Structure 1
Amino acid sequence: MGLSNPSLTTLRDGRQLSYHLSGPDQSASTKGPIILLSNSLCTPYHMWHHFVPRLHELNFQVLQYNQIGHGESTVDPSTVDDTTFDTLADDVKQLLDSLKIQKLHAWVGISMGAATGIVFCAQNPGLVERLVICDTISCSPSALGAGDPFGPRVDAARSAGNLEATIEQTLARWFWEDWRKSHGEELHWMRSLMSKTKVEGFVACCAALRKMSFDLRPLFGKLGTSVDEILLVVGELDADLPQTMAIMRDGIQQGFEAAGKTDEVRLAIIKGAGHVSVVDGLEEYASVVTSFLTK
């Protein structure tokens, strides 16, 4: 499982965002449409390692990037608490502008990468044709009046000065015990990828997830006029997210209908998969998502 070397772009505030643009023939005068992949918390873009070749086989270009403080993307420790989904989406807009990309065939995001995609599409109508929303919550727990699960994790990571314990706890939440026992090599691969995340990068992204302003629900209606088609995907074993995303699907469907669209917004449930369904549910995930991207 080799690691591709990233490129870097410098953002307005001086931070660097790492990314990788790949395709079956990057030298061709006519290149395929672009799919952007957006990652879950604590993972760099290499988490899509097994999925990217499937997109290349379909003649798609693939743009991957690392959010603030993940992989080779840098972070300003003095501003980590200011991170929001608006700033995360703006980072991507700056990346696309630097690459002179004016249209994406699709944004495919998992977890916070899916939430970023919803914000991005609402802010940039018409730039993304298709949106794939995978395994994400619709708002911060605080917006629901619930407890804050991210605060203790941030405090623990800052106190330890590393993410070792955080990573082990995260892997246990993301992947069920039977899968972890039978996929030791893949689990080691994920652990090694996540270990490259900077503590302050983790803190920054948790800041976005914790804010009261993180509430995607008011944006559902805007998606009907922002993108052409939407697919929702969730792991069958991803806690209560199948139910949460069914409600999300209904809200987005209403936005489509209000915009005069007759397309059904589909929710696909990946059997036996947890929170990062492109990893432990790869075959079904790839089949469902590529069918949507090529229909």
Structure 2
Amino acid sequence: MGRDEAGAAGGQDRSGAGGGGTVRRPTEVGSTAHGPVEYRLERRGDDVLLVLHGGHMRAGLALGEDAFAAAGLSILAPSRPGYGRTPVQTGPTTEAYADAVAELCDGLGVARVAAVVGISGGGPTAVVMAARHPQLVRRLVLISAVGPLPWPGARTRAGGRVVFAPGAEAVTWAGVRLMLRAGGRPVLRRLVAGVSSAPGAAAWAGMSSADEVMLLELFGAMRSGRGFVRDLEPAPDLCGSVTQPALVVASRTDGGVPFTHAEALVAALPAADLVVSCAAGHFVWCSPDWPGIAEQIVAFVRAPFR
């Protein structure tokens, strides 16, 4: 396993901004029979959260984890195929990648995870992990997650295949960062409004200045690699095969992953509860009710296992 020195150099913990506390953190690469998997393992207590981040994210970025760290939960966050240093070949299918992550856990001495947490585009992979490896995964948590409905719309899928294609995505993100440096808060608010169905200023209602700092850091660190184009393809629906308790967190004004996905997940998973965030869009961490929701998640993953 090799440490990501670039991540280590930029890995000073500047967390604490808003609910998400995005920072760049060092990663390693583990070897599995399926191929290499980039990961970040932060050991604290015995309870481990296996965190599968969404689109444009990788293992070296921590989003929405501060409350879990404060509660003493360990975090294992692998990069999904095509993101960071996990090649597409490690997970030619979602099932194959789930098997690779299970092998990674075994190699790291993680025999059981308190929950697999699927965020946004990482939701389908989390569902497959829970369904395919019930001996490893005790519970399932889905946050602003893509569910068993078609996603995204045809226009978004077509545009995403162009602007986030390998090669083009570097130019796209360079342009985003240039606009943020030149335009500051107004540009950030336009980006936030793009993943909210709330009208006008309501799209960033409740967002604090610390949240804005966190989001500026987030957008400054995102890359799509080869992963996001893969995320645009249909994922297997194994919701009916999940036997573990599940908790689904979503906002009714999410413009990135519509709230209907949360409703479909709750309907399709055999034992799921829904927590509705008052966030003004996709970023549920940037909402006054996030600390309370995070407490519910911690209580859920630490409840006695039956």
Q: TM-score, normalised by structure 1?
A: 0.74
**2: CA distance, partners of 1:66 / 1:118:** 16
CA spacing shift, 1:150–1:140, aligned 2, 3 Å: farther
| Whole-Å separation in 1 of the counterparts to 2:225 and 2:159 | 14
| Displacement of 1:289 | 1.2
Structure 2 CA distance for aligned equivalents of residues 64 and 84 of structure 1: 19
Confirm or deny that 1:157 pairs with 2:154.
no
Distance 2:24 2:129 in 1: 27
Higher relative helix content: 1
User: Are 1:41 and 2:58 an aligned pair?
Assistant: no
Partner of 1:201: 227
AA aligned to 2:277 is I
Match of 1:243 in 2: 260
Please give the per-residue CA displacement for 1:260-295, whole angstroms capped at 9, x wherever unaligned: xxxxx2100111242232354632331221121233
Distance 1:112 1:286 in 2: 20
Query: Does the residue aligned with 1:275 lie in a helix, a strand or coil?
Result: coil
1:230 aligns to what? 246
Tell me the secondary structure at the aligned position of residue 104 of structure 1: coil
- The residue that corresponds to 2:194 in the other structure is 173
d(CA) in 2 for partners of 1:83, 1:140: 21
**Per the alignment, do residues 171 and 74 of structure 1 end up closer, same or farther by CA in structure 2, a change over 3 Å counting?**
farther
- Cα deviations across residues 77-106 of structure 1 (Å, max 9, x unaligned)? xx69x8432233233223213213221111
SS at match of 1:174: coil
Partners of 1:284 and 1:88 in 2: CA distance = 32
Which residue of the other structure, out of 117, 120, 124, is the alignment partner of 1:108? 117
Distance 1:11 1:198 in 2: 23
1:287 aligns with 2:295: yes
Structure 1 contact 148–210 (Cα < 8 Å) conserved: no
Q: 2-side partners of 1:292 and 1:96: how far apart?
A: 22
Question: Which position in structure 1 is the counterpart of 2:69?
Answer: 56
Q: Point out where structure 1 has 5 or more consecutive residues left out of the alignment.
A: 25-30, 257-264
Determine if the alignment matches structure 1 residue 21 to structure 2 residue 41.
Answer: yes
Cα distance in 2 for partners of 1:173, 1:12 equals 40
Distance 1:156 1:61, change over 3 A: closer
Once residues 97 and 127 of structure 2 are traced to their aligned partners in structure 1, the CA distance between those partners, rounded to angstroms, is 11
Q: 1:192 to 1:244 in 2, by over 3 A?
A: same
Equivalents in 2 of 1:91, 1:127: separation in Å? 13
Distance (Å, rounded) in 2 between the aligned partners of 1:104 and 1:290: 13
Q: Is the contact between residue 148 and residue 261 of structure 2 (CA under 8 Å) also seen in structure 1?
A: no
Deviation at 1:189, TM superposition (A): 0.8
In structure 1, the residue matched to 2:214 is 186
Deviation at 1:172, TM superposition (A): 4.4
Query: Which residue in the other structure is 1:8 paired with?
Result: 29
Q: Percent identity?
A: 20
In structure 2, what is the equivalent of residue 28 of structure 1?
none
TM-aligned CA deviation for residue 129 of structure 1: 0.7
User: In the aligned structure 2, how far is the partner of 1:248 from the partner of 1:50?
Assistant: 21
CA positional deviation for 1:33: 1.9
Q: Aligned partners of 1:170 and 1:199: how far apart in 2?
A: 20
8 Å contact kept, 2:47–2:114:
yes
The structure-2 alpha-carbon separation of the partners of 1:51 and 1:3, relative to structure 1 and needing over 3 Å to count, comes to same
Structure 2 unaligned blocks of 5 or more: 1-13, 15-22, 178-187, 197-202
Corresponding residue for 2:182?
A: none
SS in 1 for 2:268: helix
Partner in structure 2 of residue 268 of structure 1: 275
Distance 2:300 2:285 in 1: 15
Q: How many residues align?
A: 259
Query: How much does 1:249 deviate?
Result: 0.7
State TM-score, norm by structure 2: 0.72
Runs of 4+ in structure 1 off by over 6 angstroms are 166-170
